[in-house]
Amino acid sequence: MQALYAQLLVGLINGSFYALLSLGLAVIFGMLNIINFAHGALYMMGAFVAYFLLNLGGINYWWALLIAPVVVGVFGMILERTMLQWLTGLDHLYGLLLTFGIALIVQGVFQNYFGSSGMPYAIPDQLKGGMNLGFMFLPIYRGWVVIFSLVVCIATWFLIEKTRLGAYLRAATENPTLVRAFGINVPRMITLTYGLGVGLAALAGVLSAPINQVRPLMGADLIIVVFAVVVIGGMGSIMGSIITGFALGVIEGLTKYFYPEASNTVVFVLMVLVLLVKPTGLTGRAA
Amino acid sequence: MTALTDDTLPVTPRAIRDEMVVFVVMAVLLAAVPFSGIYPFFVMQALCFALLACAFNLLIGYGGLLSFGHAMFLGTAGYCSAHALKVWALPPELGILVGVAGAFVLSLITGYISIRRQGIYFSMITLALSQLLYFIYLQAPFTHGEDGIQGIPQGHMLGVFDLSKPTVLYYVVLVGFLAGFLLIYRIINSPFGEVLKAIRENEPRAISLGYRTDQYKFLAFVLSGTVAGLAGSLKVFVAQNASLTDVHWSMSGEVVLMTLVGGLGTIFGPVVGAFAIIAMQQYLAGFGQWVTVIQGSIFVICVLTFRRGVIGEIAHYFRRSL
């Protein structure tokens, strides 16, 4: 049973990353109509920023949690201002191709300087050690990742669904021209949205650095799984992305316990099943 | 939404004459390669990728469907052919047939699944399916995992042509390429191809006119996957191995890049793009991962400034269809 709980915890942690990343993809898609292929590369950048802060500047994990998303978010906003904004009105596919190119550039640059092997990132002192819960041993850092991700996800949901800023955002998703006519600076909102989505990816990167090591290709394979998550959940609803992300992480963890050979593929197989039964995805608006 | 190709020219006798002239020039140039002193291995490799890019282009350029998983057909056909040649010791012509059949069956299955969604969802689904297949091939015993199937015998095509001779192999690959190319050309200019273009331009309207667009897209997907399989089978004879790199998503990305550089929805663009990208990889091989950075930069530059691609720009300038 210990092993089962351990795999469930791993599943919840992967689920946190799926949720944070698919949430960002959904927010970006809503505003920019772009599927951000660079999301995995920017997640990796988040982890690297944390690594640099610690090893070059001696700045600890807690500051990295704040600084890395801001740095990567600003980088993302520069990308949006210099490149992505020129794609408005073009076919969606060009956004995919452009961001794929950006992902190749970012990953290639990091691979040149850091190779393909992973670099360790120490767990902060306050979160070291573990707790005995009676039925299992819980490493504190892992518990922290799950709870913190959940809080961030809920906060993002609250920001978009329940605040005035979020209302503007949702309105601009539906009808940007009309929202502009009310005197709201929609292009600036688009830039900020991209920054927010990308910042969430970077935050996930910082969270994963002590668990998965810091590698240039850490986001490359992850983003494909997240795409499958997005196909399963649909991008129509924020809460849908969060729930699907966590649920698929848990299912993956269970698969690791009961049938480890399929743990790499289970999310893709589920995607196929969902497409066969309900082609529009679980929270499904057709797109 | 702006269409992928902004200037669609009607199929006129002049357009067909232009295309046939260019085709003959291309065929003659390619046939002359063994006499020119150019390294035939390089051209053979480029021809395989050119055929793959043409097959990919049938979907994106004429059906408006961006497949981000076309490497799965290349790799699957490669594994099937390699297994048939090495383990079953079949002659080359049957080996190719087994590979193409493998890609055909795969495209039936993946097409049935992925055609259910459109636009970017279609791209994400094909990418996910190819990643699923990658993991299956990584674990399946017959692919030999990371090592791949190596040392594949080339044999005698139809019992006559000795494929271990580079020149003979070159002409066999060239014939395979030209056959696949002409097949795609025929498809594009058939009534079926016209309906496909109509679906790309305006799917709801095509549906309202009574076309069952899903069936057209499914057939286009299967045709594209099968021709991509032919490219994979031919590649086995050139490289003499079948490995996981042929199924990896980065290979799918390269095919997209080749077609984008040459020109989406142009007839000759994918060929030009494939030669350009393969040549670039050849000359920059010593630069390690900078090749990835350069490829990424080409993506960015093409999308931002050069969406018609090389052939697309030329065709646009001369107001011709190429």
The answer to whether A91 contacts B299, with C-beta atoms less than 8 Å apart, is: no
Q: How far apart are CA B255 and CA B277, in angstroms?
A: 9
Q: What is the mean pLDDT of residues A216-242?
A: 90
Nearest by CB to residue B304, choosing from A86, A104, A225, is A86
Q: A135-194, pLDDT tens digit by residue?
A: 788 889 999 999 999 999 999 999 999 999 899 988 988 888 899 999 999 999 999 999
| Chain B environment of A92 (Cβ under 8 Å) | 1, 119-120
Backbone torsions φ then ψ of B264, nearest 5 degrees: -65, 135
DSSP strand pairing (B149-150 vs B161-162): unpaired
A213 Rama sector, left if φ>0, alpha if ψ -120 to 50, beta otherwise:
left
Contact B68, B253 (CB under 8 A): yes
Query: With a CB-CB cutoff of 8 Å, which residues 190-229 of chain B face chain A?
Result: none
Which one of B2, B115, B299 would you mutate to disrupt binding with A, by most A Cβ within 10 Å of its Cβ? B299
Please give the span between the terminal C-alpha atoms of chain B, in angstroms, as a whole number.
Answer: 24
The amino acid present at B231, given as its one-letter code, is A
pLDDT for A221 equals 87
Q: How far apart are CA A203 and CA A20, in angstroms?
A: 8
Q: What is the 3-state secondary structure (H, E, C) of chain B?
A: CCCCCCCCCCCCHHHHHHHHHHHHHHHHHHHCHHHCCCCHHHHHHHHHHHHHHHHHHHHHHHHCCCCCCCHHHHHHHHHHHHHHHHCCCCCHHHHHHHHHHHHHHHHHHHHHHHCCCCHHHHHHHHHHHHHHHHHHHHHCHHHCCCCCEECCCCCEECCCEECCCHHHHHHHHHHHHHHHHHHHHHHHCCHHHHHHHHHHHCHHHHHHCCCCHHHHHHHHHHHHHHHHHHHHHHHHHHHCEECHHHCCHHHHHHHHHHHHHHCCCCCCHHHHHHHHHHHHHHHCHHHCCHHHHHHHHHHHHHHHHCCCHHHHHHHHHHCCCC
Q: How far apart are CA A95 and CA A66, in angstroms?
A: 28
Task: Kindly state the DSSP code that residue A129 receives in the 8-state scheme.
Answer: S
| Chain B environment of A93 (Cβ under 8 Å) | 4, 60, 66, 119-120, 123
Reported confidence tier of residue A286, pLDDT bands at 50, 70, 90: very low
B132 and chain A: CB distance < 8 Å anywhere? yes
Contact B83, B142 (CB under 8 A): yes
Nearest by CB to residue B299, choosing from A90, A97, A230, is A97
Query: With a CB-CB cutoff of 8 Å, which residues 30-49 of chain A face chain B?
Result: 35
pLDDT, mean of each 10-residue run, chain B (322 residues): 52 79 93 87 94 96 92 96 93 95 97 90 94 94 87 85 89 96 94 92 92 94 97 94 92 95 94 95 85 93 91 87 76
pLDDT for A116 equals 83
User: In sequence order, what are the residues at sequence separation of 6 or more whose Cβ sits closer than 8 angstroms to the Cβ of residue B14?
Assistant: none
Closest residue of chain B to A93, computed from CA coordinates: B120
The answer to whether B304 contacts A83, with C-beta atoms less than 8 Å apart, is: yes
DSSP code string of A71-111: HHHHHHHHHHHHTGGGGTTS-HHHHHHHHHHHHHHHHHHHH
Q: B283-298, pLDDT tens digit by residue?
A: 888 887 889 999 999 9
pLDDT for B180 equals 97
Query: How near does any CA of chain B get to the CA of A61, in Å?
Result: 30
Q: Which two tokens stand for residue B108?
A: 């039936």
pLDDT for A287 equals 42
Q: How many CB atoms lie under 10 A from the CB of residue B158? A: 9
Q: How far apart are CA B162 and CA A277, in angstroms?
A: 50
B108 and chain A: CB distance < 8 Å anywhere? no
Kindly report the average pLDDT of chain A as a whole number: 91
Q: What is the mean pLDDT of residues A64-77?
A: 96
Closest residue of chain B to A234, computed from CA coordinates: B121
The amino acid present at B192, given as its one-letter code, is F
Secondary structure (3-state) at A131: strand
User: In sequence order, what are the residues at sequence separation of 6 or more whose Cβ sits closer than 8 angstroms to the Cβ of residue A156?
Assistant: A23, A27, A196, A200, A238
Does residue A29 surpass a pLDDT of 70? yes
Q: Which of B239, B213, B25 is nearest to B148 (CA)?
A: B239
Give the count of Cβ contacts less than 8 A between chain A and B.
Answer: 133
Q: How many CB atoms lie under 10 A from the CB of residue B277? A: 24
Contact A51, A214 (CB under 8 A): yes
| Chain B environment of A108 (Cβ under 8 Å) | 289-293, 295-296
pTM of the model as a whole: 0.92
Q: Which of A33, A259, A283 is nearest to B120 (CA)?
A: A33
Contact B87, B94 (CB under 8 A): no
Q: How far apart are CA B237 and CA B78, in angstroms?
A: 9
Q: How far apart are CA B82 and CA B191, in angstroms?
A: 36
Backbone torsions φ then ψ of A137, nearest 5 degrees: -100, 120
Which one of B5, B113, B131, B260 would you mutate to disrupt binding with A, by most A Cβ within 10 Å of its Cβ? B131
Q: Which two tokens stand for residue A66?
A: 């704040």
Q: Which two tokens stand for residue A200?
A: 């969430």
Q: How far apart are CA A171 and CA A57, in angstroms?
A: 42
pLDDT for B1 equals 38
B118 and chain A: CB distance < 8 Å anywhere? yes
pLDDT for A242 equals 92
pLDDT for B70 equals 95
pLDDT for B5 equals 53
The answer to whether B300 contacts A98, with C-beta atoms less than 8 Å apart, is: yes
β-sheet bridge partners, residue B156: B162
Secondary structure (3-state) at A138: strand
Q: How far apart are CA A87 and CA A100, in angstroms?
A: 14
Q: A84-99, pLDDT tens digit by residue?
A: 999 988 888 899 999 9
pLDDT for A117 equals 85
A248 and chain B: CB distance < 8 Å anywhere? no
Apex B215 CA angle, B214 and B217, nearest 5: 65
B1 and chain A: CB distance < 8 Å anywhere? yes
Closest residue of chain B to A37, computed from CA coordinates: B124
Q: How far apart are CA A287 and CA B182, in angstroms?
A: 35
What's chain A's length in residues?
Answer: 287
More confident: A133 or A251: A251
Asked whether the CA dihedral B266, B269, B271, B277 is positive or negative, the reply is negative
